[in-house]
Structure 1
Amino acid sequence: MQELTQQELIDRVNHNEEGSFAVFLFTPFCGTCKITERMLEIIRTMQPDLPLVKSNINFLPQLSREWQITSVPCIVMLEAGKENTFMYRMQSVDELYRRLLPLINN
Protein backbone atom coordinates (compact mmCIF):
# COMPACT_ATOMS: atom_id res chain seq x y z
CA MET A 1 0.00 0.00 0.00
CA GLN A 2 1.50 3.30 -1.09
CA GLU A 3 2.05 5.91 1.64
CA LEU A 4 1.37 9.53 0.67
CA THR A 5 2.51 12.78 2.23
CA GLN A 6 0.00 15.52 2.97
CA GLN A 7 0.86 17.37 -0.27
CA GLU A 8 0.67 14.19 -2.36
CA LEU A 9 -2.71 13.37 -0.83
CA ILE A 10 -4.04 16.91 -1.37
CA ASP A 11 -2.87 16.78 -4.99
CA ARG A 12 -4.56 13.42 -5.51
CA VAL A 13 -7.83 14.63 -3.95
CA ASN A 14 -7.83 17.88 -5.97
CA HIS A 15 -6.72 16.38 -9.29
CA ASN A 16 -8.31 12.98 -9.11
CA GLU A 17 -8.50 11.57 -12.62
CA GLU A 18 -8.35 7.99 -11.36
CA GLY A 19 -11.88 7.99 -9.94
CA SER A 20 -12.81 6.85 -6.46
CA PHE A 21 -10.23 5.79 -3.91
CA ALA A 22 -9.78 5.27 -0.16
CA VAL A 23 -7.22 6.60 2.29
CA PHE A 24 -6.21 4.64 5.38
CA LEU A 25 -5.24 7.11 8.12
CA PHE A 26 -3.05 5.75 10.91
CA THR A 27 -0.36 6.47 13.47
CA PRO A 28 2.67 4.20 13.75
CA PHE A 29 2.21 3.35 17.45
CA CYS A 30 -1.52 2.56 17.27
CA GLY A 31 -2.17 -1.15 17.84
CA THR A 32 -5.64 -1.01 16.28
CA CYS A 33 -4.12 0.71 13.23
CA LYS A 34 -1.69 -2.20 12.81
CA ILE A 35 -4.57 -4.71 12.94
CA THR A 36 -6.56 -2.66 10.42
CA GLU A 37 -3.54 -2.47 8.11
CA ARG A 38 -3.19 -6.26 8.24
CA MET A 39 -6.87 -6.62 7.32
CA LEU A 40 -6.40 -4.21 4.41
CA GLU A 41 -3.37 -6.16 3.19
CA ILE A 42 -5.50 -9.33 3.11
CA ILE A 43 -8.09 -7.48 1.03
CA ARG A 44 -5.35 -6.12 -1.27
CA THR A 45 -4.11 -9.68 -1.77
CA MET A 46 -7.60 -10.66 -2.96
CA GLN A 47 -8.16 -7.40 -4.88
CA PRO A 48 -4.78 -5.96 -5.99
CA ASP A 49 -6.52 -3.22 -7.99
CA LEU A 50 -8.18 -1.77 -4.90
CA PRO A 51 -7.56 2.00 -5.08
CA LEU A 52 -6.19 2.41 -1.56
CA VAL A 53 -3.39 4.54 -0.14
CA LYS A 54 -2.29 5.26 3.41
CA SER A 55 -1.09 8.34 5.29
CA ASN A 56 0.28 8.97 8.76
CA ILE A 57 -2.20 11.37 10.39
CA ASN A 58 0.63 12.95 12.39
CA PHE A 59 1.78 14.59 9.16
CA LEU A 60 -1.66 15.67 7.91
CA PRO A 61 -2.60 18.70 10.04
CA GLN A 62 -4.47 20.48 7.24
CA LEU A 63 -6.50 17.47 6.11
CA SER A 64 -7.16 16.36 9.70
CA ARG A 65 -8.84 19.69 10.40
CA GLU A 66 -10.59 19.88 7.04
CA TRP A 67 -11.99 16.34 7.27
CA GLN A 68 -12.55 16.62 11.05
CA ILE A 69 -10.87 13.28 11.77
CA THR A 70 -11.86 12.24 15.30
CA SER A 71 -9.67 9.16 15.79
CA VAL A 72 -7.52 6.55 14.11
CA PRO A 73 -7.65 4.15 12.47
CA CYS A 74 -9.85 5.85 9.92
CA ILE A 75 -10.58 4.99 6.31
CA VAL A 76 -11.84 7.85 4.18
CA MET A 77 -13.65 6.81 1.01
CA LEU A 78 -13.53 9.51 -1.65
CA GLU A 79 -16.05 8.76 -4.37
CA ALA A 80 -16.62 11.10 -7.30
CA GLY A 81 -19.83 13.07 -6.93
CA LYS A 82 -20.49 11.79 -3.40
CA GLU A 83 -19.75 13.06 0.08
CA ASN A 84 -16.69 11.54 1.74
CA THR A 85 -17.43 8.47 3.85
CA PHE A 86 -15.50 7.97 7.09
CA MET A 87 -15.04 4.53 8.63
CA TYR A 88 -13.78 4.36 12.20
CA ARG A 89 -14.81 0.82 13.13
CA MET A 90 -13.31 -2.11 11.27
CA GLN A 91 -14.70 -5.31 12.74
CA SER A 92 -13.54 -7.94 10.27
CA VAL A 93 -11.92 -8.49 6.89
CA ASP A 94 -15.30 -9.54 5.49
CA GLU A 95 -17.11 -6.42 6.71
CA LEU A 96 -14.29 -4.14 5.52
CA TYR A 97 -14.22 -5.87 2.13
CA ARG A 98 -17.96 -5.32 1.66
CA ARG A 99 -17.60 -1.63 2.54
CA LEU A 100 -14.70 -1.14 0.11
CA LEU A 101 -16.30 -3.15 -2.70
CA PRO A 102 -17.89 -0.11 -4.40
CA LEU A 103 -14.38 1.30 -5.01
CA ILE A 104 -13.32 -1.91 -6.76
CA ASN A 105 -16.31 -1.83 -9.08
CA ASN A 106 -15.75 1.80 -10.20
Structure 2
Amino acid sequence: MLAEISARDWYKIEPLEYTALLITSPFCQTCTLAEKMVEEAKNIEGRTNIYKLNLQLAPDFAYEYKIQSVPMLLLFHRQTLVARLSPIKHTGNILHFLTNNREE
Protein backbone atom coordinates (compact mmCIF):
# COMPACT_ATOMS: atom_id res chain seq x y z
CA MET A 1 0.00 0.00 0.00
CA LEU A 2 1.29 3.45 -0.89
CA ALA A 3 1.92 5.80 2.00
CA GLU A 4 -0.51 8.71 1.89
CA ILE A 5 1.00 12.08 2.69
CA SER A 6 -0.35 15.60 2.95
CA ALA A 7 0.83 18.47 0.78
CA ARG A 8 2.51 19.91 3.87
CA ASP A 9 4.42 16.65 4.38
CA TRP A 10 5.36 16.59 0.70
CA TYR A 11 7.07 19.96 0.97
CA LYS A 12 9.09 18.70 3.95
CA ILE A 13 10.49 15.71 2.08
CA GLU A 14 14.01 16.24 0.78
CA PRO A 15 14.52 13.39 -1.66
CA LEU A 16 18.04 12.70 -2.85
CA GLU A 17 16.95 11.14 -6.11
CA TYR A 18 13.68 10.41 -7.88
CA THR A 19 10.34 10.39 -6.10
CA ALA A 20 6.86 9.92 -7.55
CA LEU A 21 3.56 11.20 -6.25
CA LEU A 22 0.25 9.59 -7.19
CA ILE A 23 -2.48 12.23 -7.18
CA THR A 24 -5.85 10.72 -6.29
CA SER A 25 -9.29 11.42 -4.90
CA PRO A 26 -11.21 9.12 -2.54
CA PHE A 27 -14.31 9.47 -4.74
CA CYS A 28 -12.54 8.26 -7.89
CA GLN A 29 -12.87 4.57 -8.82
CA THR A 30 -10.23 4.94 -11.53
CA CYS A 31 -7.84 6.19 -8.84
CA THR A 32 -8.31 2.96 -6.89
CA LEU A 33 -7.34 0.94 -9.96
CA ALA A 34 -4.41 3.25 -10.71
CA GLU A 35 -3.11 2.88 -7.16
CA LYS A 36 -3.03 -0.90 -7.53
CA MET A 37 -1.11 -0.60 -10.80
CA VAL A 38 1.32 1.92 -9.30
CA GLU A 39 1.95 -0.38 -6.32
CA GLU A 40 2.68 -3.25 -8.69
CA ALA A 41 5.05 -1.08 -10.75
CA LYS A 42 6.78 0.12 -7.57
CA ASN A 43 7.38 -3.49 -6.50
CA ILE A 44 8.85 -4.35 -9.90
CA GLU A 45 10.92 -1.19 -10.44
CA GLY A 46 12.05 -0.85 -6.82
CA ARG A 47 14.15 2.33 -7.12
CA THR A 48 11.56 5.08 -6.90
CA ASN A 49 9.86 6.13 -3.67
CA ILE A 50 6.18 6.63 -4.44
CA TYR A 51 3.66 8.41 -2.23
CA LYS A 52 -0.06 9.14 -2.60
CA LEU A 53 -1.68 12.57 -2.21
CA ASN A 54 -5.43 13.16 -1.79
CA LEU A 55 -6.11 16.12 -4.06
CA GLN A 56 -9.33 16.96 -2.21
CA LEU A 57 -7.18 18.02 0.74
CA ALA A 58 -4.59 19.91 -1.29
CA PRO A 59 -6.16 22.64 -3.46
CA ASP A 60 -3.03 24.82 -3.33
CA PHE A 61 -0.92 21.89 -4.54
CA ALA A 62 -3.39 21.35 -7.39
CA TYR A 63 -3.07 24.98 -8.40
CA GLU A 64 0.72 25.04 -8.13
CA TYR A 65 1.20 21.92 -10.27
CA LYS A 66 -1.76 22.57 -12.59
CA ILE A 67 -3.51 19.30 -11.74
CA GLN A 68 -6.76 19.16 -13.67
CA SER A 69 -7.65 15.49 -13.45
CA VAL A 70 -7.02 12.41 -11.36
CA PRO A 71 -5.43 9.96 -11.23
CA MET A 72 -2.10 11.47 -12.21
CA LEU A 73 1.43 10.33 -11.46
CA LEU A 74 4.07 13.01 -11.03
CA LEU A 75 7.80 12.27 -11.12
CA PHE A 76 10.16 14.56 -9.25
CA HIS A 77 13.92 14.77 -9.13
CA ARG A 78 14.86 16.46 -5.84
CA GLN A 79 11.52 18.35 -5.60
CA THR A 80 11.66 19.45 -9.27
CA LEU A 81 8.83 18.11 -11.41
CA VAL A 82 10.32 16.29 -14.38
CA ALA A 83 7.33 14.42 -15.83
CA ARG A 84 3.63 13.68 -15.42
CA LEU A 85 1.63 10.66 -16.47
CA SER A 86 -2.07 10.88 -17.25
CA PRO A 87 -3.96 8.81 -18.12
CA ILE A 88 -2.55 5.86 -16.25
CA LYS A 89 -3.27 2.91 -18.53
CA HIS A 90 -1.50 -0.17 -17.17
CA THR A 91 1.50 -1.33 -15.12
CA GLY A 92 3.79 -1.42 -18.16
CA ASN A 93 2.86 2.17 -18.92
CA ILE A 94 3.89 3.18 -15.39
CA LEU A 95 7.17 1.23 -15.55
CA HIS A 96 8.04 2.92 -18.83
CA PHE A 97 7.24 6.31 -17.29
CA LEU A 98 9.37 5.68 -14.18
CA THR A 99 12.41 4.41 -16.07
CA ASN A 100 12.43 6.60 -19.18
CA ASN A 101 12.10 9.98 -17.47
CA ARG A 102 15.38 9.69 -15.58
CA GLU A 103 18.68 11.32 -16.42
CA GLU A 104 21.24 8.84 -15.17
Query: What is the alpha-carbon distance in structure 1 between the residues aligned to residue 68 and residue 79 of structure 2?
Result: 24
Range that drifts further, 47-56 or 79-88? 79-88
Query: What is the alpha-carbon distance in structure 1 between the residues aligned to residue 100 and residue 12 of structure 2?
Result: 23
Q: Which has the higher strand share?
A: 2
Contact 2:82 2:101 in 1 (8 A): no
Report the counterpart of residue 54 of structure 2 in structure 1.
56
Structure 1 residue 84, shift from structure 2 partner: 3.2
Report the counterpart of residue 39 of structure 1 in structure 2.
37
CA gap 1:20/1:105 in 2 versus in 1, 3 angstroms: same
Gaps of 5+ in 2: none
Instruction: Work out whether 1:4 is the aligned partner of 2:5.
Output: yes
The alignment of Structure 1 onto Structure 2 pairs a total of residues equal to: 103
Task: Please show how residues 1-106 of structure 1 align to structure 2 within 5 Å.
Answer: 1-12=2-13, 16-80=14-78, 83-102=81-100
Query: What is the alpha-carbon distance in structure 2 between the residues aligned to residue 94 and residue 83 of structure 1?
Result: 21
Tell me the SS of whatever aligns to 1:41.
helix
Gaps of 5+ in 1: none
TM-score by length of 2: 0.84
> Cα RMSD over matched residues?
2.3
Query: What is the alpha-carbon distance in structure 2 between the residues aligned to residue 81 and residue 61 of structure 1?
Result: 18
Contact 2:22 2:53 in 1 (8 A): yes
Query: What is the alpha-carbon distance in structure 2 between the residues aligned to residue 31 and residue 6 of structure 1?
Result: 22
Query: What is the alpha-carbon distance in structure 2 between the residues aligned to residue 104 and residue 83 of structure 1?
Result: 11
TM-score by length of 1: 0.82
